[in-house]
Structure 1
Amino acid sequence: MFFVLPTVLAVASGFVADRGGFTGENLAVLKNPAIIGSFAASVWVSLVSGILGAVIGAIVAWALSGLPNNSALRRVVNAASSALSQFGGVMLAFAFIATIGMQGMLTVLLRDSIGLDLYAHGVWLYQPVGLILPYLYFQVPLMAIIFLPAVDSLRPGWAEAVSTLGGSRWHYWTRVAIPVLAPTFLGAFVLLFANAFSSYSTAAGLISQGSGIVPLQIGAALKGETGASQPATAGVLALVMILSMTVAVLAYTRLMKRAARWRS
C-alpha cells in the first residue's frame, strides 16, 4: 500500500476537473509542444546513457570475468560498483558541478594551464545533454553488476565443443556466446533505460532553470512556484511514465527469464 496508494492518487489526479469530477480533458496536455519536447529529451538522454552504460559496463564485466573469483581487484571493483550504482541525486550533481562545472576544479585547471575551455560551445552541463555524463556514473556500475553473472555463465566446455566439431572462434561467438549473452544484455539495457528515464534528483540538482525532461516537468507542475500548481498535468505525465516503466519492467523480466535458462 505504501507504493500503490500514492501511485493511484497521482494518476487519479490527472483525471480530476478543476471543479471536481471525472474528466479526460487533461490528457490534452500531451499535445503541448513543451511536454512533447520533454518526452523527446528524456527518451534521447535515456537511450544514449543506456547504450553507453551497457557497452562500457559489459566491457568492465568481461574484464572482471577473466580474474579469479577470489581476486582482490575483482572484489574491490564489485564492491565499488555496488556502491556507485546507488550513488546519485544531489550528491552526484554537486560532485560534477564542483569538478567540471563552469568554475569547477578541472574546468579552471584546463582553462588556466592549457587554454582548453570546456564551455567554449555553451553551458552544456546544465542542460539535458549534460545529464549523460553524470548518469553514466551509476549506469556503468549497474551494468557491470548485472552482466557479470551472465559472462561467468559461459562454460569453457562450450568453446571446446565448438572446436571439437570443427568450428572456429567466429562460430563460437556467433552461434553460442552472443545468443547466450544477448537476452541479459538487452534486459540490462532496458533496465538502464528505465533507470535514466525515471531519474529525478540528479537532474534537479543540475538543471535549476527549466524543465527539459519529464521528471522535472512533473516536479515543476507540483511545485507551482507562483502559487499556480497543476496537479492534473503532473498526474497525466505520471500516468505516461508509469505505463512506460511497466512496459520496460515487463520487457526486462521476460528477457531475464530467457537468460536464466543458461545458468541452471
Structure 2
Amino acid sequence: MTTVAHQPDAAPVDQHRDPVPASAKWRAGWRRGRQLTGVVPFFAFIVVFLVIPTLVVAVGAFGSNDGRPTLDNLSALGDGYIVDAFVRSILLSAVTAVIGAILGALLAYALVTAKPDGILRRLVTSACGVLAQFGGVMLAFAFIATIGLSGFVTLFLKDQLGIDLYSGGVWLFDLPGLMLVYTYFQIPLMVIVFLPALDGIRPQWREATESLGGSTWQYWRRVAMPLLAPAFLGSTLLLFANAFSAYATAAALVSQGSPIVPLQIRSALTSEVVLGQQNLGKAMALGMVVVVAVVMWLYAYLQKRTSRWLG
C-alpha cells in the first residue's frame, strides 16, 4: 500500500505586504535621480534663455510704461510700418526658404549618390555644418568686401568687363541683398536637415518599381516624392523659422532703416528719437514668437509623418 506523504499547508501570504524591499526601492530611486541629474544643465539653460525671456516679453507686451496692464501695444501692431515690416520679414523668410530648400535638396541628393563613407560626402557635410552657422557680422562683412560698393568682385566687373552691379541702386543693403545673404546659409542648413530623409529611402523600393515595369519618373512620382514630401516641407518650414528669427546678419548689413521685424524691435528698444517704445518692441517680439511657434508646430507634425515611413 502506497503511503502519500502529507504536505504541510503553505504559509498564508500577506496580501498587504510589498513584494519589493524598501532597500531595492531606495536604490532604484537613487539611480533614477542620478540619471535625471545629467539633464539639469539642459533644463537650466532652457529656463534661463527661453522660458524667462518669453515670460518677460509676454508680460511687457501687455503692460504700459508705468506698469499698468494695457492692450495698446498689441493694438499698435496694426500700424502700417509694423505690418509692412512683418510682410517683408515673411516674404524674406519664404523666398530664402524655398530657394534654399530646392538648391539644398538637389545638393543633398548629389551627396546621397556618392559613397556613404567617401571623402567627398564627409567634406561637403562638414563644410555645410560650418557654413550653416556662418552668419552675423562675419557674413555681412564677407559680402560687403566681395560684392559691396567697393568690393573686389564689384570693382573687377566694373573695371574689366564694364558691368555695374549697382546700376539699378544699392540693392545689397536692402531686402534683395538680405535675400541673397540669407540664401547663403539656408542652402547648407537644408543639406544637413534633409540628408537623413534621403538616406532613409531604401534601394529595394526602386528595385520593386523596376521589377513591376515602372520607369524612373514613375518611381519618383509615385514612391519617392510622396515619401519625401513631408520631410521636404518640414525642412522648408525650419528654414523659414531660421530666416524669420535671424537678426545679427541683417543688423550688420542694414545700417539705415528697419525693413524687417527684428530691426524694428531694435529700433523700438534703442531709439533715442522716439522714447518709451520698449513695450511695443516686446509686443512685436511676441508676434514673432507666435509665428515661429506655429511654424515649428507644423514642422514637428511633418517630422512625425516622415518618421513613420523613413524611421
TM-score by length of 2: 0.83
Matched, 1:43 2:64: no
- Alignment partner of 1:226 out of 273, 291, 294: 273
- Alignment partner of 2:146 out of 72, 91, 99: 99
- Alignment partner of 2:248 out of 201, 210, 224: 201
Matched residue SS, 1:135: helix
Q: How many Å separate the matches in 2 of 1:176 and 1:23?
A: 54
Match of 1:244 in 2: 291
Q: How many Å separate the matches in 2 of 1:11 and 1:195?
A: 21
Aligned amino acid, residue 130 of structure 1: G
Instruction: Name the larger-Rg structure.
Output: 2
Aligned 8 A contact 1:14 1:231 in 2: no
Q: How many Å separate the matches in 2 of 1:11 and 1:214?
A: 17
Give me the CA root mean square deviation.
Answer: 1.1
Q: How much does 1:229 deviate?
A: 4.4
Match of 2:184 in 1: 137
- Alignment partner of 2:236 out of 165, 169, 189: 189
Q: How many Å separate the matches in 2 of 1:12 and 1:93?
A: 34
Q: How many Å separate the matches in 2 of 1:105 and 1:229?
A: 43
Q: How many residues align?
A: 264
- Alignment partner of 2:100 out of 21, 42, 53: 53
Q: How much does 1:239 deviate?
A: 1.0
Unaligned regions of 5+ residues in structure 1, if any?
Answer: none
Match of 1:22 in 2: 69
Q: Deviations over 1:22-51 (max 9, x none)?
A: 011221211211111111110111111000
1:116-127 aligned within 5 A? 116-127=163-174
Matched residue SS, 1:118: coil
Matched residue SS, 1:18: coil
Q: Deviations over 1:47-100 (max 9, x none)?
A: 110000000000000000011111111110000000111110111001101111
Q: How many Å separate the matches in 2 of 1:65 and 1:229?
A: 54
Aligned 8 A contact 2:265 2:281 in 1: yes
Aligned 8 A contact 1:127 1:207 in 2: yes
Q: How many Å separate the matches in 2 of 1:226 and 1:35?
A: 17
Q: How many Å separate the matches in 2 of 1:60 and 1:171?
A: 22
Aligned amino acid, residue 181 of structure 1: L
Match of 2:155 in 1: 108
Q: How many Å separate the matches in 1 of 2:239 and 2:204?
A: 31
Q: Percent of aligned positions with the same letter in both sequences?
A: 49
Aligned amino acid, residue 20 of structure 1: G
Q: How many Å separate the matches in 2 of 1:70 and 1:125?
A: 39
Q: Deviations over 1:97-146 (max 9, x none)?
A: 11111111111111111110100001100012210111111100000011
* Moved >3 Å (runs of 4+): none
Aligned amino acid, residue 65 of structure 1: V
Rate the CA distance shift 1:153–1:163 in 2: closer, same or farther, 3 A: same
Q: How many Å separate the matches in 2 of 1:26 and 1:79?
A: 44
- Alignment partner of 1:75 out of 119, 122, 142: 122
Unaligned regions of 5+ residues in structure 2, if any?
Answer: 1-46
Stretch moving more, 15-24 or 163-172 = 163-172
Q: How many Å separate the matches in 2 of 1:39 and 1:259?
A: 30
Match of 1:260 in 2: 307
